[in-house]
Protein backbone atom coordinates (compact mmCIF):
# COMPACT_ATOMS: atom_id res chain seq x y z
CA UNK A 1 0.00 0.00 0.00
CA UNK A 2 1.04 3.62 -0.50
CA UNK A 3 2.51 5.42 2.50
CA UNK A 4 3.76 8.99 2.88
CA UNK A 5 6.32 11.22 4.57
CA UNK A 6 5.92 14.70 6.02
CA UNK A 7 8.09 16.98 3.86
CA UNK A 8 8.29 19.93 6.27
CA UNK A 9 9.60 20.50 9.78
CA UNK A 10 6.40 22.32 10.75
CA UNK A 11 3.44 20.92 8.85
CA UNK A 12 -0.31 21.32 8.68
CA UNK A 13 -2.51 22.15 10.36
CA UNK A 14 -4.22 18.79 9.93
CA UNK A 15 -7.44 17.45 11.37
CA UNK A 16 -6.60 14.79 13.94
CA UNK A 17 -9.25 12.29 14.97
CA UNK A 18 -7.76 12.28 18.48
CA UNK A 19 -6.52 15.85 19.00
CA UNK A 20 -8.55 18.26 16.87
CA UNK A 21 -6.88 20.86 14.63
CA UNK A 22 -3.22 19.96 15.01
CA UNK A 23 -0.11 21.83 13.91
CA UNK A 24 2.62 19.24 13.52
CA UNK A 25 6.32 19.39 14.34
CA UNK A 26 8.51 16.85 12.56
CA UNK A 27 11.88 16.53 14.31
CA UNK A 28 12.95 13.81 11.89
CA UNK A 29 14.29 14.09 8.32
CA UNK A 30 11.92 15.59 5.74
CA UNK A 31 12.88 13.01 3.11
CA UNK A 32 13.08 9.75 5.07
CA UNK A 33 11.87 7.97 8.18
CA UNK A 34 13.93 7.59 11.36
CA UNK A 35 12.49 5.50 14.16
CA UNK A 36 13.38 3.12 16.98
CA UNK A 37 10.40 0.99 15.93
CA UNK A 38 9.57 -0.31 12.46
CA UNK A 39 5.84 -0.82 12.98
CA UNK A 40 4.08 -2.91 10.38
CA UNK A 41 1.21 -0.39 10.38
CA UNK A 42 3.24 2.85 10.15
CA UNK A 43 1.77 5.38 7.72
CA UNK A 44 5.33 6.54 6.94
CA UNK A 45 6.30 3.09 5.63
CA UNK A 46 9.30 0.93 6.54
CA UNK A 47 12.52 2.24 8.03
CA UNK A 48 15.11 2.87 5.29
CA UNK A 49 18.46 1.13 5.12
CA UNK A 50 20.58 3.22 7.51
CA UNK A 51 23.69 2.31 5.54
CA UNK A 52 22.31 3.96 2.42
CA UNK A 53 20.60 7.03 3.90
CA UNK A 54 22.22 9.43 6.34
CA UNK A 55 19.59 11.03 8.53
CA UNK A 56 19.70 14.82 8.71
CA UNK A 57 17.61 16.22 11.55
CA UNK A 58 16.45 19.84 11.69
CA UNK A 59 18.49 22.13 13.95
CA UNK A 60 16.87 23.47 17.10
CA UNK A 61 16.89 27.09 15.91
CA UNK A 62 15.39 26.08 12.57
CA UNK A 63 12.52 24.35 14.35
CA UNK A 64 11.91 27.35 16.60
CA UNK A 65 11.88 29.86 13.74
CA UNK A 66 9.63 27.71 11.55
CA UNK A 67 7.14 27.32 14.39
CA UNK A 68 7.26 31.03 15.25
CA UNK A 69 6.50 32.07 11.68
CA UNK A 70 3.69 29.53 11.30
CA UNK A 71 1.99 30.58 14.54
CA UNK A 72 2.18 34.24 13.52
CA UNK A 73 0.66 33.37 10.13
CA UNK A 74 -2.15 31.34 11.71
CA UNK A 75 -2.81 34.06 14.28
CA UNK A 76 -3.22 36.71 11.59
CA UNK A 77 -5.75 34.45 9.88
CA UNK A 78 -7.53 33.79 13.20
CA UNK A 79 -6.93 30.07 12.67
CA UNK A 80 -4.76 29.09 15.62
CA UNK A 81 -4.47 25.34 16.29
CA UNK A 82 -6.11 23.37 19.08
CA UNK A 83 -2.83 21.56 19.64
CA UNK A 84 0.82 21.65 18.60
CA UNK A 85 1.90 18.04 18.11
CA UNK A 86 5.34 16.46 17.97
CA UNK A 87 4.87 13.68 15.42
CA UNK A 88 6.20 13.29 11.88
CA UNK A 89 8.49 10.77 10.20
CA UNK A 90 9.41 8.57 13.14
CA UNK A 91 10.15 8.92 16.85
CA UNK A 92 10.43 12.61 17.89
CA UNK A 93 12.23 11.95 21.18
CA UNK A 94 15.24 10.59 19.24
CA UNK A 95 16.27 14.18 18.41
CA UNK A 96 19.29 15.09 20.54
CA UNK A 97 17.79 18.52 21.34
CA UNK A 98 14.28 17.24 22.08
CA UNK A 99 14.19 18.69 25.60
CA UNK A 100 15.38 22.12 24.48
CA UNK A 101 12.93 22.15 21.57
CA UNK A 102 10.08 21.38 23.98
CA UNK A 103 11.17 24.40 26.06
CA UNK A 104 11.17 26.58 22.91
CA UNK A 105 7.75 25.28 21.89
CA UNK A 106 6.21 26.06 25.27
CA UNK A 107 7.64 29.59 25.07
CA UNK A 108 6.21 30.16 21.57
CA UNK A 109 2.86 28.62 22.46
CA UNK A 110 2.55 30.89 25.48
CA UNK A 111 3.35 33.93 23.35
CA UNK A 112 1.36 33.28 20.18
CA UNK A 113 -1.27 30.60 20.89
CA UNK A 114 -1.88 30.41 24.66
CA UNK A 115 -5.07 28.37 24.29
CA UNK A 116 -3.31 25.60 22.35
CA UNK A 117 -2.16 22.41 24.01
CA UNK A 118 1.17 20.75 23.29
CA UNK A 119 1.20 17.02 22.56
CA UNK A 120 3.74 14.38 21.71
CA UNK A 121 3.13 11.03 20.02
CA UNK A 122 5.93 8.75 21.22
CA UNK A 123 6.64 5.03 21.08
CA UNK A 124 8.07 5.02 24.65
CA UNK A 125 11.50 3.74 23.61
CA UNK A 126 13.57 6.74 24.76
CA UNK A 127 12.31 6.82 28.34
CA UNK A 128 15.70 5.64 29.60
CA UNK A 129 16.91 9.21 28.98
CA UNK A 130 16.20 11.48 31.99
CA UNK A 131 16.10 14.57 29.74
CA UNK A 132 13.35 13.02 27.62
CA UNK A 133 11.27 12.06 30.66
CA UNK A 134 11.57 15.55 32.17
CA UNK A 135 10.62 17.16 28.85
CA UNK A 136 7.61 14.88 28.43
CA UNK A 137 6.41 15.81 31.93
CA UNK A 138 6.14 19.45 30.77
CA UNK A 139 3.84 18.58 27.87
CA UNK A 140 0.05 18.85 28.14
CA UNK A 141 -0.79 15.66 26.24
CA UNK A 142 2.00 13.17 26.82
CA UNK A 143 0.83 10.30 24.58
CA UNK A 144 2.92 7.13 24.87
CA UNK A 145 2.52 3.87 22.98
CA UNK A 146 1.81 0.45 24.51
CA UNK A 147 0.42 -1.93 21.89
CA UNK A 148 0.64 -5.17 23.85
CA UNK A 149 1.65 -6.68 27.18
CA UNK A 150 3.42 -9.52 25.39
CA UNK A 151 6.98 -9.23 24.13
CA UNK A 152 6.21 -11.59 21.24
CA UNK A 153 3.35 -9.42 19.99
CA UNK A 154 5.41 -6.23 20.27
CA UNK A 155 8.15 -7.95 18.27
CA UNK A 156 5.69 -8.63 15.45
CA UNK A 157 3.66 -5.41 15.49
CA UNK A 158 6.32 -2.85 16.39
CA UNK A 159 9.56 -4.54 15.24
CA UNK A 160 11.83 -2.74 17.76
CA UNK A 161 15.20 -1.61 16.48
CA UNK A 162 17.64 -2.91 19.08
CA UNK A 163 16.72 -4.25 22.51
CA UNK A 164 13.26 -3.67 23.96
CA UNK A 165 11.75 -4.88 27.24
CA UNK A 166 8.05 -4.59 28.08
CA UNK A 167 8.86 -4.94 31.77
CA UNK A 168 11.33 -2.06 31.64
CA UNK A 169 9.02 0.18 29.62
CA UNK A 170 6.15 -0.35 32.06
CA UNK A 171 8.50 0.58 34.89
CA UNK A 172 9.45 3.75 33.02
CA UNK A 173 5.82 4.62 32.21
CA UNK A 174 4.99 4.29 35.89
CA UNK A 175 7.50 7.05 36.65
CA UNK A 176 5.02 9.58 35.25
CA UNK A 177 2.70 8.87 38.20
CA UNK A 178 -0.39 9.00 36.01
CA UNK A 179 0.54 12.17 34.11
CA UNK A 180 0.41 10.47 30.71
CA UNK A 181 -1.92 9.05 28.11
CA UNK A 182 -1.47 5.50 26.83
CA UNK A 183 -2.12 4.97 23.13
CA UNK A 184 -2.78 1.47 21.75
CA UNK A 185 -3.27 0.26 18.19
CA UNK A 186 -5.54 -2.77 17.86
CA UNK A 187 -5.34 -4.93 14.76
CA UNK A 188 -4.95 -8.46 13.43
CA UNK A 189 -2.82 -9.91 10.71
CA UNK A 190 0.19 -11.93 9.72
CA UNK A 191 3.83 -10.95 9.36
CA UNK A 192 6.74 -13.21 8.46
CA UNK A 193 4.44 -16.24 8.72
CA UNK A 194 3.40 -15.29 12.26
CA UNK A 195 -0.24 -14.54 12.93
CA UNK A 196 -1.14 -12.03 15.63
CA UNK A 197 -4.26 -10.49 17.16
CA UNK A 198 -3.97 -8.14 20.12
CA UNK A 199 -7.76 -8.10 20.63
CA UNK A 200 -7.94 -11.63 22.10
CA UNK A 201 -9.08 -12.10 25.68
CA UNK A 202 -5.56 -13.04 26.81
CA UNK A 203 -4.07 -9.98 25.11
CA UNK A 204 -6.64 -7.53 26.44
CA UNK A 205 -6.54 -8.99 29.97
CA UNK A 206 -2.74 -8.74 30.16
CA UNK A 207 -2.79 -5.22 28.69
CA UNK A 208 -5.38 -4.10 31.27
CA UNK A 209 -3.17 -5.44 34.05
CA UNK A 210 -0.36 -3.19 32.81
CA UNK A 211 -2.77 -0.25 32.75
CA UNK A 212 -3.49 -0.95 36.44
CA UNK A 213 0.23 -0.61 37.14
CA UNK A 214 0.79 2.50 34.98
CA UNK A 215 -2.47 4.24 35.99
CA UNK A 216 -2.61 6.68 33.05
CA UNK A 217 -5.04 9.59 33.14
CA UNK A 218 -6.54 8.32 29.90
CA UNK A 219 -6.17 5.60 27.27
CA UNK A 220 -6.57 6.17 23.53
CA UNK A 221 -7.40 3.11 21.43
CA UNK A 222 -7.64 3.02 17.68
CA UNK A 223 -7.14 0.89 14.58
CA UNK A 224 -5.72 1.45 11.11
CA UNK A 225 -7.48 3.93 8.82
CA UNK A 226 -4.58 4.96 6.60
CA UNK A 227 -2.37 3.01 4.20
CA UNK A 228 0.22 0.74 5.78
CA UNK A 229 3.46 -0.81 4.47
CA UNK A 230 2.12 -4.33 5.10
CA UNK A 231 -1.04 -5.42 3.31
CA UNK A 232 -1.94 -8.48 5.43
CA UNK A 233 -3.52 -6.39 8.21
CA UNK A 234 -7.13 -6.42 9.38
CA UNK A 235 -8.90 -3.38 10.80
CA UNK A 236 -10.76 -3.90 14.06
CA UNK A 237 -14.42 -2.91 14.01
CA UNK A 238 -15.33 0.11 16.11
CA UNK A 239 -17.84 -1.97 18.07
CA UNK A 240 -14.99 -4.23 19.20
CA UNK A 241 -12.98 -1.20 20.25
CA UNK A 242 -15.93 0.10 22.23
CA UNK A 243 -16.25 -3.25 24.03
CA UNK A 244 -12.55 -3.11 24.93
CA UNK A 245 -13.00 0.47 26.16
CA UNK A 246 -15.97 -0.55 28.31
CA UNK A 247 -13.96 -3.40 29.77
CA UNK A 248 -11.12 -1.06 30.73
CA UNK A 249 -13.46 1.48 32.30
CA UNK A 250 -15.43 -1.13 34.25
CA UNK A 251 -12.36 -2.90 35.62
CA UNK A 252 -10.02 0.06 36.25
CA UNK A 253 -12.05 3.27 36.14
CA UNK A 254 -9.63 4.69 33.57
CA UNK A 255 -11.18 6.87 30.86
CA UNK A 256 -10.87 5.42 27.35
CA UNK A 257 -11.18 7.36 24.11
CA UNK A 258 -12.06 5.35 20.98
CA UNK A 259 -10.96 6.73 17.61
CA UNK A 260 -12.86 5.40 14.62
Closest of 139, 110, 104, 100 to residue 122, by C-alpha: 139
Average pLDDT over residues 2-27: 85
Residue 2 confidence (pLDDT) above 60: no
Q: How many CB atoms lie within 10 A of CB 137?
A: 14
Confidence of residue 51 (pLDDT cuts 50, 70, 90): low
In total, the chain counts a number of residues equal to 260
| pLDDT tens string 119-140 | 999 999 999 999 999 999 999 9
The structural domains of the chain, with segments of one domain joined by +, span 10-258
More reliable by pLDDT, 228 or 140: 140
Alpha-carbon radius of gyration of the chain: 18
| pLDDT tens string 144-191 | 999 999 999 999 999 999 899 999 999 999 999 999 999 999 999 999
Torsion of CA 109, 220, 158, 138, to 10 degrees: 30
Confidence of residue 217 (pLDDT cuts 50, 70, 90): very high
Please return the burial class of 228, using the count of CB atoms within 10 Å of its CB with bins 0-12, 13-18 and 19+. buried
Q: CA–CA separation, 168 vs 28, rounded Å?
A: 25
**Confidence (pTM):** 0.94
Specify the CATH architecture of the domain 10-258.
Alpha-Beta Barrel (3.20)
Amino acid sequence: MATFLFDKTVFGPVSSRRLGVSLGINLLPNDSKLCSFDCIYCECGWNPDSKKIKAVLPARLKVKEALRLKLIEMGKASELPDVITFAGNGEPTMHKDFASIVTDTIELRNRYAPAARIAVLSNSTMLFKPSVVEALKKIDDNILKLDSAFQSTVSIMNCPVGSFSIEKVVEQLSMFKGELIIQTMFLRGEFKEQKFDNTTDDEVSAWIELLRIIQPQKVMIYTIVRDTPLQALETVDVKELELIAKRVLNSTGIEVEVSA
